[in-house]
Structure 1
Amino acid sequence: MRDTKIEGGTVAQENVTSLAGLELVKAKGEIEQFIYSCSHTLRAPLKSIAGLVHLLKSNTNNPEIDPKFFLESIEKTCSKMELLLDDFEQFLSNSRQRVVAHPVEVRAVVDEVLQDFQDVVHAERIQVSVTCDQPVPLYTDNNRFRVILTHLISNAIHFRNNEREQMEVRIQVKVFPSFCTVQVRDNGMGIEDQVRPHIFDLFYRGSMQSTGSGVGLYIVKEVLHKMKGSITVRSLEGKGSTFLISIPNLMP
């Protein structure tokens, strides 16, 4: 009996080690693919900046060349590259760090995230409403929770419909003893049927209005996978979109 137990324990341990090894191989492959994709994506804006600098240097005495236009173009390109690098850091952090659960005050986190978008919300007169129902404590990874909210809210604001009389973004959070749901709903551009299956793909941009890196929703998907959460999306072109996520409440 003693030998059987030892053998059984050894087999179980080997299985756990094997699974851990497979997870490491998978994570390494994903990181390598992401780094390669980022490197490839950064080459275009770098070449664009180099081209603009060359034109400026070659036409210093040309009155038809407006240096301000070229400098503004370089500034915009640098901003896009900075956003991509931010996304890159978020991806690496999510891949390498384990989920650490702490008590989270949901409304405070939502308000902090919204503060980063106050300029565009006021400038575009977007009506943002927040409902937080938290009758029990929420234990989750605060940094990952913030990343998810940031990308979903940014997405809702960015793909607004400027032709609407009133643009809206509605955020609803409900905390239960075993899980938490977050719904981000907008009345913006909506998503075309043929585009919807690909919105979580890396570097996918399915709209002419998309000026981002095409990484945000991919990161949301990867973060939720790490947290053992889920995400669904409902959308109608020209009507708006609703993203609904669910994450475990790791309350002890």
Structure 2
Amino acid sequence: MRELMPTLKLPLKYSLDLKIIGVAILYYLFARLGYFLAFENMSALPAWPPSGIAFALVILMGRSVWPGITIGALIANIMAYWNNPGLGPQTIITVSSAIAIGNTIEAVAGNYMVKLWIKDSYPFRHARNTFRFLFVALIMCLAGASIGAGSLYFNNVIASDSITRILFSWWVGNVVGILLFTPFILSVARKIKVTLSPARVIEVGIYFLGIVAIYLLLQVDYLTITMQRALPLLALPFLLWLAFRFELIVAIAGVLIVSLISIYFTVHGIGPFILSGTDNSMLLLQIFIGVISISTIILSATVKERLDAQHQLQEFNENLEQMVQERTKALNDEIGTRKVAEEKLQRTNHELSKRNTELDNFVYSVSHDLRAPIASVLGLINLARIDKDVAMKDMYLDMINKSALQQDHFIKEILDQSRNSRLEVKREPIQFEPLIEETFNQLKFATSTGKSVERVVNIQQDAPFFCDRWRLKVILNNIISNAIRYRNGRDPVIKVQVTINQNLAKLAIEDNGKGIEKEHLPNIYKMFYRATDDGAGSGLGLYIVKEAVDKLNGNINIESEVGRGTTVQLEIPEII
């Protein structure tokens, strides 16, 4: 492992050196392209591609790669001037070194201005930054052109009367090289997602058909001269189409192809840019290339900016719609929550009002029903003290016992109501047959006569039914005790039917007793309400039954006819 570590670190250690060597090689290769497209017997070039390459590489890799620009420029210029018989080796090295320094300063200065002014390594996202990029190119190229032309002048390579012309041509050539190659390199370096929709494919087909049509028109004899002169104008709509419909890399590639073809044919004396003098031809060519480059880049940036704005607006609208939906949902939830809270508050207020009314009735009835048996007992005791008859004393004792039992039953009902209000519902296995048997056994002495009550019990239960045993016992006890207490003179019969069906217990308890008058039926579940005036009951029995049934989420229905009896129907759901 120790022997492998230097090998693994080698690429990281020398990564900057590799970048510098790569920059030098690219600079030299594109310099050869520039010399290939040069006019004959001219020191200035129509376009200097290495300026654009160097500027783009410094933006992408940082200013630390500047030695690569210097090395590449130095080698390219030495190779260009080496075969010049009018220059000595020392002059060639001096001029080449000065030009290399100027080219390096040009690229580094341009990178500095991009970071300071544009603050974006890809200046073609917005039209404003595109214009700034153009100004940066114009300013930075003055450095390279001035140093290059000055080195030629001070080394007696050019005369003083031609220095202005050389400087201007040099400056324009560097600017054209930046406008052509820097946007192209920066666009290539970006990750671009290419999607070819059917509409785009049709557009590309129409584009190539247009080019073919122009070529065919050039072959028509009487249109040849006119079409050659009009080619620059005919190229503009196609280039603007590319800028408007495609990414910058496609548009600038079209500009680059048109420019290189124009330079090649103009250098060879063919095309619409040929004028009387070579300088004039080159300047016209440079103006054409500069105009189509600037127009294409600015239009592409404007379209990109507009599309980004539309996309942001669309995203904003989608987000806004989503926010509105979320807010609407939140408001609906809040309204629902408030509605539930209001309903709960109404139920609570209703329950509180009910409890207050019941409390008032309770205080009144308790004070009356508890004191009445006590007053009766005290009165009977006084009578027993006065009356010396033994038989009368026994009667007084029976009456005292009856009053005590009545008070005990009333207290038991109060306790049942209290427990039903406080205790949670319990889930217990219920077998109705022993539960009903137990209820009848406890109530068999509830009648003061010797007559027994006939009972008919029919229970259909195959499995345990889970419910609250104590509440079921309270319900059955009160209903069956009422059936026994309010029986007719004839033989009393109580029928009990129990059916368990799909987690629901249905009970029907029918008697042949006195019955309840219809005008009393709506009020029988009220606290302390008595449907009769015989004083046998406290008025709490059916109230407790209704409360217990509600606790079990069940239903109760009572049907009664005076003189024929009463039927109580119950539906009790199983506790899951």
- TM-score interval for Structure 1 and Structure 2 normalised by the shorter chain: 0.7 to 0.9
In structure 1, what is the equivalent of residue 370 of structure 2?
42
Instruction: Pick from 407, 423, 444 the counterpart of residue 97 of structure 1.
Output: 423
How much is the aligned-residue C-alpha RMSD, in angstroms?
3.1
Deviation, structure 1 residue 172: 0.6
Contact 1:27-1:95 at 8 Å conserved across structures: no
- What aligned pairs does 1:2-13 form with structure 2 within 5 A after superposition? 12=337
* Contact 1:178–1:249, Cα closer than 8 Å, also in 2: yes
CA distance in 1, matches of 2:384, 2:463: 60
- 1:52 corresponds to: 380
Q: C-alpha distance in 2, partners of 1:123/1:51?
A: 28
* SS of residue in 2 equivalent to 1:123: coil
Q: How big is the shift at 1:41?
A: 2.0
Greater RCO, CA 8 A, separation 6+ = 1
Tell me the equivalent position of 2:405: 79
Return 115-124 or 100-109, whichever deviates more: 115-124
Q: Residue 137 of structure 1 aligns to which amino acid in structure 2? A: P
Task: Supply the distance in 2 between the matched residues of 1:245 and 1:167 (Cα, whole angstroms).
Answer: 22
Q: Distance in 2 between matches of 1:146 and 1:77?
A: 25
Between 78-87 and 199-208, report the one with greater CA deviation: 199-208
TM superposition shift of 1:152: 0.8
- Change in 2 beyond 3 A, CA 1:126/1:244: same
- Aligned residues between the structures: 247
Structure 2 portions without partners, runs of 5+:
1-322
Whether 1:127 and 2:454 are equivalent positions in the alignment is: yes
CA distance in 1, matches of 2:525, 2:348: 26
TM-score by length of 1: 0.82
- CA gap of 1:158–1:100, structure 2 versus 1, over 3 A, is same
Question: How far 1:64 sits from its partner (Å)?
Answer: 9.3
Secondary structure of the residue aligned to 2:519 is coil
Q: Once structures 1 and 2 are overlaid, which stretch shifts more, 233-242 or 84-93?
A: 233-242
What's the offset of the Cα at 1:18? Answer: 5.0
Describe the SS at the equivalent of 1:146.
helix
Structure whose residues are more often helix by fraction: 2
Deviations 1:82-133 (A, max 9, x none): 0000000000000111212222111121111111123468931322011111
Give the letter for the 2:404 counterpart. Answer: C
Q: Given the alignment of the two structures, is residue 145 of structure 1 paired with residue 472 of structure 2, yes or no?
A: yes
- 1:195 partner SS: helix
Aligned counterpart, 2:282: none
TM-score (normalised: structure 2): 0.39
Aligned pairs for 1:91-240 within 5 A: 91-119=417-445, 123-162=450-489, 164=490, 166-209=491-534, 211-240=536-565
Going from structure 1 to structure 2, the CA distance change for 1:40 and 1:157 (only over 3 Å counts) comes to same
Supply the distance in 1 between the matched residues of 2:504 and 2:361 (Cα, whole angstroms): 30
Alpha carbons 1:106, 1:132 under 8 Å: kept: yes
User: Which amino acid is the alignment partner of residue 466 of structure 2?
Assistant: Y
SS at match of 1:222: helix
1:69 matched to 2:395? The reply is: yes
Separation in 2 of the partners of 1:64 and 1:104?
A: 50
Structure 1 gaps, min length 5: none
Q: Percent same amino acid at aligned positions?
A: 28
Match of 2:359? 32
Query: How far, CA to CA, are the matches of 2:525 and 2:417 in structure 1?
Result: 14
Paired amino acid for 2:553:
K
Structure 1 counterpart of 2:500, one-letter code = V
| Structure 1 counterpart SS, 2:400 | helix
Q: Take 1:191 and 1:84, find their aligned partners in 2: how far apart are those partners?
A: 21
